Amino acid sequence: MEKIIALWEGSGVANLSPGQAIMIAIGFGLLYLAINKKFEPLLLVPIGFGGILANIPEAGLAFSAVEQLVHMQVPEQVADLARILNLSSTGVKELSEAYANAPAQVQLAAQLLADNLNYNNGMLYSFYSVAIGSGIAPLVIFMGVGAMTDFGPLLANPRTLFLGAAAQFGIFATVLGAIGLTQMGVMDFSIAQAAAIGIIGGADGPTAIYVSSVLAPELLGAIAVAAYSYMALVPMIQPPIMRALTTEKERKIEMVQLRNVNKVEKIMFPLVLLVLVAMLLPDAAPLLGMFCFGNLMRECGVVDRLSGTAQNALINIVTIFLGLSVGSKLVADKFLQAETLGILALGIVAFCIGTAAGVLMAKAMNMLSSKHKINPLIGSAGVSAVPMAARVSNKVGLESNPHNFLLMHAMGPNVAGVIGSAVAAGVMIQYVSAL
Residues binding another protein (CB under 8 A): 154-155, 158-159, 161-162, 164-165, 168-169, 171-173, 175-176, 179-180, 182-183, 190-191, 194-195, 260, 262-265, 268-269, 272-273, 276, 280-281, 416, 419-420, 423-424, 427-428, 431-432, 435
Please, what is the minimum distance in Å from the beta carbon of residue 347 to another protein? 17
User: Residue 137 or residue 359: which is nearer to another protein going by CB?
Assistant: 359
CA 104, 106, 107: angle at the middle one, nearest 5?
65
User: Residue 281 or residue 306: which is nearer to another protein going by CB?
Assistant: 281
Please, what is the minimum distance in Å from the beta carbon of residue 390 to another protein? 18
Question: Within 10 A of 164 (CB to CB), how many other CB atoms are there?
Answer: 27
Please, what is the minimum distance in Å from the beta carbon of residue 198 to another protein? 9
C-alpha–C-alpha distance, residues 166 and 200, integer Å: 15
User: Residue 99 or residue 169: which is nearer to another protein going by CB?
Assistant: 169
Please, what is the minimum distance in Å from the beta carbon of residue 182 to another protein? 6
Long-range CB contacts (< 8 A, 24+ apart) of 279-282? 281/423, 281/426, 281/427, 281/430
Tell me the chain's radius of gyration from C-alpha atoms: 24
Per-residue burial over 39-51, b = 16 or more CB atoms within 10 Å of its CB, e = otherwise: bbbebbbbbbbbb
C-alpha–C-alpha distance, residues 326 and 328, integer Å: 5
Nearest residue to 362 via CA among 401, 391, 385, 393 = 393
Judged by DSSP in three states, 381 sits in helix
C-alpha–C-alpha distance, residues 50 and 330, integer Å: 8
Please, what is the minimum distance in Å from the beta carbon of residue 40 to another protein? 25
Please, what is the minimum distance in Å from the beta carbon of residue 117 to another protein? 40
Please, what is the minimum distance in Å from the beta carbon of residue 207 to another protein? 13
C-alpha–C-alpha distance, residues 334 and 326, integer Å: 12
C-alpha–C-alpha distance, residues 391 and 423, integer Å: 24
User: Residue 33 or residue 196: which is nearer to another protein going by CB?
Assistant: 196
C-alpha–C-alpha distance, residues 321 and 46, integer Å: 8
Please, what is the minimum distance in Å from the beta carbon of residue 256 to another protein? 16
Please, what is the minimum distance in Å from the beta carbon of residue 204 to another protein? 14
User: Residue 55 or residue 157: which is nearer to another protein going by CB?
Assistant: 157
Please, what is the minimum distance in Å from the beta carbon of residue 276 to another protein? 6
C-alpha–C-alpha distance, residues 322 and 127, integer Å: 8
In order of 262, 298, 364, 414, the CA distances from 230 in angstroms are 36, 29, 27, 16
In order of 9, 71, 96, 172, the CA distances from 427 in angstroms are 51, 40, 33, 11
Question: Within 10 A of 111 (CB to CB), how many other CB atoms are there?
Answer: 18
User: Residue 121 or residue 355: which is nearer to another protein going by CB?
Assistant: 355
C-alpha–C-alpha distance, residues 307 and 204, integer Å: 21
User: Residue 230 or residue 269: which is nearer to another protein going by CB?
Assistant: 269
User: Residue 161 or residue 231: which is nearer to another protein going by CB?
Assistant: 161
User: Residue 96 or residue 182: which is nearer to another protein going by CB?
Assistant: 182
User: Residue 176 or residue 236: which is nearer to another protein going by CB?
Assistant: 176
